[in-house]
């Protein structure tokens, strides 16, 4: 009997423990369900709140016609102001461009004028220098025509002087100096200076017969006019012309 009572007591304890475990499990499941329900409720509440907030933003103080016209007028005024600024800046750009073109043209004219003045100055200096040397050339040429060496010693000296003369002439040629050869040409006062007239029937009247003093050119510029003898009408023709004129 005692043994049966002990077994019964053990069974009762096991049953109680099983009931407690089942109760705890049921309680945990109920708590989990409550948490899930609470989370779902909060999410739905937040969603409804966001929707209400968005609707409140969309519906917040809509513009009436007067306010809309004011906004449009302000925008139009801003556009007008920007156009005026653009026009002003365009005019300023045109003015700056015109000023630049004038300055560029003035500078180009100044450059050309300076270059021309420099060339003219160089030409004047060169002409003055060469003119000073032409006297020496004339002396060499006169000496060559007048001096007649009588012996070998004089011939040696004469050749030495002529060697210097040739060097001088070659140096003048290198800088662009050239001698005139007017014989047989028609007299031209731009290049010739008539110092004699000779009546002759060999040449047409006004023809250069002889060059008395040589003329020179520097490029196309006259350094010194050639002094020349010019052909005139023969004496018989001249007297005949005078007689005809008197008649």
Model pLDDT for residues 130-159, shown as the tens digit of each residue: 998 998 899 888 888 888 888 888 888 888
Residue 85 in any domain: the answer is: no
Question: Are residues 237 and 219 part of one domain?
Answer: yes
- Compute φ and ψ for 189, nearest 5 degrees: -65, -15
Q: How far apart are CA 165 and CA 185, in angstroms?
A: 27
Q: Which of 146, 175, 204 is the last residue of a domain?
A: 175
Q: What is residue 106's predicted lDDT score, i.e. its pLDDT?
A: 96
- The bridge status of strand 208-213 relative to strand 226-232 is antiparallel
Q: What is residue 45's predicted lDDT score, i.e. its pLDDT?
A: 52
Helix (H, G, I), strand (E, B) or coil at 62: coil
Question: Are residues 228 and 199 part of one domain?
Answer: yes
Contact in structure between 130 and 223 (CB atoms under 8 Å): yes
Q: What is residue 27's predicted lDDT score, i.e. its pLDDT?
A: 46
Question: Are residues 227 and 168 part of one domain?
Answer: no
pLDDT of the chain, 247 residues: tens digit per residue: 444 444 444 544 554 554 454 455 554 555 555 545 555 555 555 555 444 444 444 445 666 788 888 889 999 999 999 999 999 999 999 999 999 999 999 999 999 999 999 999 998 998 999 998 998 899 888 888 888 888 888 888 888 888 888 999 999 999 999 999 999 999 999 999 999 999 998 999 999 999 999 999 998 899 999 999 999 988 765 555 555 555 5
Question: Are residues 169 and 130 part of one domain?
Answer: yes
Q: Which of 154, 175, 196 is the last residue of a domain?
A: 175
Question: Are residues 188 and 130 part of one domain?
Answer: no
Range of the domain at 119: 98-175
Q: Which are the contacts of 134, defined by CB distance < 8 A and separation ≥ 6? A: 216, 223, 224
Q: Which tokens sit at 172? A: 């003048």
Question: Are residues 230 and 188 part of one domain?
Answer: yes
Question: Are residues 237 and 171 part of one domain?
Answer: no
Question: Are residues 186 and 240 part of one domain?
Answer: yes
Q: How far apart are CA 212 and CA 58, in angstroms?
A: 115
The H or E element containing residue 89 is helix 65-146
Each residue of 86-104: pLDDT tens digit? 999 999 999 999 999 999 9
Q: How far apart are CA 218 and CA 130, in angstroms?
A: 9
Per-residue exposure over 26-54, b if at least 16 CB sit within 10 Å of its own CB, e if not: eeeeeeeeeeeeeeeeeeeeeeeeeeeee
Question: Are residues 167 and 193 part of one domain?
Answer: no
Q: What is residue 29's predicted lDDT score, i.e. its pLDDT?
A: 56
CATH number, residue 219: 2.30.22.10
* Number of domains into which the chain is organized: 2
Q: What is residue 8's predicted lDDT score, i.e. its pLDDT?
A: 41
Question: Are residues 189 and 246 part of one domain?
Answer: yes
């Amino acid at each position: 009997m005692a043994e049966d009572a002990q077994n019964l007591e053990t069974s009762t304890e096991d049953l109680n423990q099983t009931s407690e475990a089942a109760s705890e499990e049921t309680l945990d499941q109920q708590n989990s369900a409550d948490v899930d329900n609470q989370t779902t409720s909060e999410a739905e509440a937040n969603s409804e709140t966001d929707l209400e907030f968005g609707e409140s933003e969309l519906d917040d103080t809509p513009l009436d016609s007067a306010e809309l016209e004011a906004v449009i007028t302000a925008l139009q005024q801003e556009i007008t102001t920007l156009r005026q600024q653009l026009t002003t800046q365009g005019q300023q750009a045109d003015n700056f461009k015109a000023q630049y073109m004038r300055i560029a043209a003035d500078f180009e004219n100044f450059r050309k004028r300076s270059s021309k003045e420099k060339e003219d100055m160089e030409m004047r200096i060169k002409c003055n220098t060469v003119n000073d040397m032409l006297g020496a050339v004339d002396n060499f040429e006169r000496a060559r025509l007048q001096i007649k060496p009588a012996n070998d010693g004089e011939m040696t000296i004469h050749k030495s002087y002529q060697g210097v003369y040739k060097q001088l002439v070659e140096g003048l040629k290198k800088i662009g100096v050239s001698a005139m050869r007017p014989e047989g040409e028609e007299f031209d006062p731009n290049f010739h200076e008539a110092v004699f007239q000779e009546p002759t029937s060999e040449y047409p009247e006004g023809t250069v017969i002889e060059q008395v003093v040589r003329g020179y050119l520097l490029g196309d510029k006259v350094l010194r006019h050639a002094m020349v003898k010019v052909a005139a009408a023969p004496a018989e023709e001249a007297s005949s012309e005078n007689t005809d004129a008197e008649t």
